[in-house]
Amino acid sequence: MRLKNYVSMPRLLSLVANRYVFFLLFLLGYTSVMEHLGGLPSVWGAWRLEIPLLAYLYYYFNRILRPSRLQAVLAAAPIMLFYLATDVYFLLLGRLPHITEVSELPEMFRILHPSMIALVVTVIGLPLLAFIINLRKPRVILIGALPLAALILSAERWPDAFMTAFNKTQKEVVFYSDAHSTRNNGRLGMMLYNEARRKSYLEKIANYRDNPSYRQDFEKAVDVLKDENAKRNVHLLVLESFIDPTLLKGAHFSRPPADPSFTKLFGNKGGFSVSPVFGGGTAQAEFEVLCGVPALRELSGVEFDVFTGAKTYCLPNLLTQAGYETDATNSFVPDYYNSTKAYAGLGFSHTYYPQEYAKGLTSYFSNGDTTDEMYIFDGTLLSQNLAFISHKIKEHPEQPIFNYIIGIYGHTPHDINTEKRPEVIGITGKVKDEQLERAVNQYYYRTQAIAAFVNGLLKVDPHSLIILVSDHLPPLTYGPNTYNDLDYLDDQQDSIHMNRVYFIENGRAVRYSTIHHFDIPRIVLNYVSRGEYCQEHACSFKSGQDVDLDRAALRDEYLTIMAQAMGYDESAPPPGRPDGEPAPTPPATPAPSTAAGV
């Protein structure tokens, strides 16, 4: 019997060879491979929006390009480059980028090594240039872009309606995991959803401008500190990518990585603090360390980027209003992550940058010799800060000081000048990572410099609080894979966000149970109030146990801080007293089992 309805082999081959089918199969294969290598999840499960959207984009790009042998490849280039960029971002930083983070690209290029810039330009710039050169008439481009423009416009203009429709038609959005949400809904889909959520909060944030409970708690905290006769100084040092190599169980070292003077100071008193970021995003760690709330990224990819200079409810502002001199020392350029406006909004009374980057501003320190290292060495930075602070303490012993320092030495790619700092530590293990080798040798010299700094502080200011904390772990060469392969902290859950933190209280090293970066302001306030702060507030770090915080419980505190920082509703009173006497921000009502914001 003859079969009339069948698919012939040539027809089947023609179907498979169809550019649209081949593109989708290639994309599915690519994302499956990248998921296996540690990238974002495969696009296999995102058939409700992502796959149709990608098919439309590929068809659209084919239509707006001039016919050529490379048309099918050029049409796929923007999509594949987008997917590649999101995978690299996830591999290095452990999260899906937000649309607003496009504005941070200039910041990224300022810190990239020239060889990396050349690689990025080659891999991304050349294909996009070829795409642009082969575009057809503008009218075709504009008409075909209408569906995409409508989708973006709905997320920007009607964010609540967009989220409602998204939640009804798409799969679950898992707020605590970019990877799970992306697996369910795709990368483009989740980026649009995150942007709609950001816009929605932006519209509602004015309601948080004036929070009476914050104001009352804040004024009470200020009054408590003002009543202290002998105010205690605080020195807070945030260290760029300060990884403790001994926590890599799969690596073996020719000698102990830490300088003996550092080990003598801290012994086994090194604790752990959970950072909001991995591999990058120092400003996010700073936000938590100084404001006492999680960096939720609900209003911007980086909270500091939307600060306007308006005072907000953060630790420096509170201490300033209580009579402290609050000094911020930033070792990089003034406009990096909007730091000048951010530090003003945080409430610092003085901000200092290296003389080389701030020629029109007052500064007490310089970069020194950065030959072959790009960034100022910790020892160069800290020795100058020690001299600066020592002079202030000697000249005005009655003036309490909050001395905040943010370093940058140790930043990727961990360049080290071996003539000044020869290699002293060899590494063996199952993973060969040149960046790790450099970072370990940097660690030796950094611990040496930190110990000298701390010992110097103890001589001039023995009755003070000294805090050292790493902003985040460095990405090294292979991102989280290096940490997994070398059994960092025995591969415990979320270990790539666990960073070293050290405390010295009144000349003695102390160790807390595992904390979060946003616990540090409460530790500071409890210390300077001689324990009174935690008598009035729920301080989880006092429990002696690790805590599993529900970050959503701190959302009101976060939004109140951001509403003030963004300068919303200027008719409302700023953080301060109604009679015109400024007052720092009140901590919001404590959530169960956790402390409220500063």
Tens of pLDDT along 479-502? 898 999 999 999 888 899 999 999
Residue recorded with tokens 């707020």: 175
Q: Residue 432 is part of a domain; what is its CATH number?
A: 3.40.720.10
Q: Which of 285-294, 326-335, 550-559 has the highest mean pLDDT?
A: 285-294
With residue 508 as reference, give the H or E element that holds it. strand 508-510
With a cut of 50, say whether residue 597 has pLDDT above it.
no
Are 290 and 259 part of one and the same domain? yes
pLDDT at 197: 84
Roughly what angle, to the nearest 10 degrees, separates helices 19-36 and 71-93? 20
Say if 498 falls within a structural domain. yes
Residue 27 tokens read as: 């994309």
200/126 Cα distance (integer angstroms): 37
- For the record, the structure tokens of 532 come out as 């009174």
Q: Average of pLDDT values for 200-214?
A: 79
Domain assignment of residue 37, given as a range: 14-205
Residue 578 within a domain: no
* pLDDT confidence bin for 553, thresholds 50/70/90: low
| Confidence at residue 229, expressed as pLDDT on a 0 to 100 scale | 79
- Is 448 inside a domain boundary? yes
Tell me: do 201 and 349 sit in the same domain. no
**Domain boundary, last residue among 155, 181, 205:** 205
Q: Is there a domain that residue 427 lies in?
A: yes
- Residue 427 tokens read as 């590494």
Reading the block at residue 416, the tokens are 């080290």
Q: Is residue 213 one of the residues assigned to a domain?
A: no
> Are residues 170 and 251 located together in one domain of the fold?
no
The helix (H) or strand (E) run that includes residue 351 is strand 350-352
Quick one: average pLDDT of 116-125?
Answer: 84
Would you state the pLDDT for residue 550? 55
Q: Model confidence over 261-304: pLDDT tens digits?
A: 999 999 999 999 999 999 988 999 999 999 999 998 888 888 99
* 257 plus 289 within the same structural domain: yes
The structural domain count of the chain equals 2
- Type of residue numbered 400: P
Same domain, 138 and 230: no
CA-wise closest residue to 376 among 336, 344, 417, 404: 417
Residues 495 and 518 in one domain: yes
CA 172 to CA 402: how far, in whole Å?
A: 44
Instruction: Tell me, yes or no, whether 6 lies in a domain.
Output: no
**Average pLDDT, rounded, for the chain:** 86
Alpha-carbon dihedral sign for residues 445, 448, 453, 456: negative
pLDDT at 491: 85
Q: How far is CA 26 from CA 2, 70, 159, 507, in A?
A: 36, 16, 33, 61
Q: Answer for the pair 368, 201: CB distance below 8 angstroms, yes or no.
A: no
Q: How would DSSP label each residue in 437-490?
A: HHHHHHHHHHHHHHHHHHHHHHHH--SEEEEEEES----TTTTHHHHHHTTBGG
Residues 174 and 244 in one domain: no
Residues 41 and 67 in one domain: yes
Q: What are the pLDDT digits (tens) for 68-89?
A: 999 999 999 999 999 999 998 8
Domain contains 597: no
Percent of the chain beyond pLDDT 70? 88
Domain assignment present for residue 571? The answer is no
- Token digits of residue 466: 């000294």
Do 160 and 274 fall into the same domain?
no
Q: What percent of the chain has pLDDT over 90?
A: 60
User: Distance between CA 313 and CA 350 in Å, rounded?
Assistant: 17
